[in-house]
Amino acid sequence: MAMVAVACLAAVLWLGYDYANLRKTVQEVVRLRAANARQARQIRALSQQAADLDKELAAVAEVEAKLRQETRLLSPEAGKKQESPGGLPNRTLSVEVLSRSLKMQSERAGLLRRSLTGLVDDVERYQKKMAHRPNMWPVNGRITSSFGSRRSPFGGGYEVHEGIDIAAPYGSPVRATADGRVVFAGWRSGYGRLVILDHGYGYRTAYGHNSRIQVRVGQEVKGNSVIAYVGSTGRSTGPHVHYEVWFQGKKVNPVPYLP
């Protein structure tokens, strides 16, 4: 009888130990499943962030490429294609690997944003400069006298012509060839009624022989705005605009500045 009791007690103890181990195993399985579920959620969240960042990088890079192409401001250094981490080739990698990849992409996004910001500033400066550079005809007409040495229309041999003459009907509107400020508007010997504009960036333009002046000194004007009307005042043989372009204080041939 005693032996039976001992055997029964041993069986009960063994079953209790086995149950305790089984319970621990079940708890460990539950814990691991919960941890795996959390990790899976983290991976999905990081993968979504990476996908969103991929789209943002692509959009930023596309805008940057278009800006560089449109303005032709691409420098050799800026033109080097940046190597991409290539996204995330395996979205099922560990959270640590995904986090590192996401950090790399975030850093690249920051570089692209800074590059794009600098490029936008360059574009704005470029556009402002181009708006102040003479780039249109001052009047609808035809060139009747070119820049440089010419035979004087008043006789007496050759003379240096410091602009071009553009013939047009009397009273036709004379337009500013770029944004600028009026620095002279009045009568000057030889030129008759004359308008001079300072465009900044080293550029000035002059419009002579006008019948009437439409602007005053100090006035800001936009390119293509009317500043005077065609006439034949001063030393002139007929209605036309004597048009000059100055760059860095020197009178230059206006023809290259015409479209």
Residues with Cβ within 8 Å of 217's Cβ and at least 6 positions away in sequence, in order, are 182, 183, 184, 185
Element (H, E) at 50: helix 2-71
- pLDDT digits 0-9 by tens, 199-211: 999 999 999 999 9
Element (H, E) at 58: helix 2-71
Full-prediction pTM beyond 0.85?
A: no
227, 168 contact by CB (below 8 A): no
Tracing tokens 């010997």 back to the chain, one arrives at 189
Q: Which of 96-110, 120-134, 176-190, 213-227 has the lowest mean pLDDT?
A: 96-110
Of 166 and 88, the structure prediction assigns the larger pLDDT to: 166
Q: Which of 91-95, 144-148, 224-228 has the lowest mean pLDDT?
A: 91-95
Question: Does the pLDDT at position 81 exceed 50?
Answer: no
Question: Does the pLDDT at position 86 exceed 50?
Answer: no
Q: Which of 13-17, 34-38, 115-119 has the lowest mean pLDDT?
A: 13-17
- Rounded mean pLDDT, 59-87: 56
* Whole-number pLDDT of residue 246: 98
Provide DSSP, 90-133: -TTS-HHHHHHHHHHHHHHHHHHHHHHHHHHHHHHHHHHHHHTS
- Rounded mean pLDDT, 183-195: 98
Round to whole Å and give the CA distance between 80 and 98. 27
Question: Does the pLDDT at position 26 exceed 70?
Answer: no
Mapping DSSP onto H, E and C, the string for 12-35 reads: HHHHHHHHHHHHHHHHHHHHHHHH
Instruction: Collapse the DSSP code of 64 into the 3-class scheme (helix H, G, I; strand E, B; otherwise coil) and give the result.
Output: helix
* Whole-number pLDDT of residue 172: 98
Q: Which two tokens stand for residue 111?
A: 């570089």
Work out the pLDDT band at 37, boundaries 50, 70, 90: confident
236, 217 contact by CB (below 8 A): no
* Whole-number pLDDT of residue 148: 93
Round to whole Å and give the CA distance between 239 and 244. 16
* Whole-number pLDDT of residue 196: 99
Average pLDDT, the chain: 80
Of 86 and 170, the structure prediction assigns the larger pLDDT to: 170
- Rounded mean pLDDT, 56-62: 72
- Rounded mean pLDDT, 37-58: 72
* Whole-number pLDDT of residue 22: 56
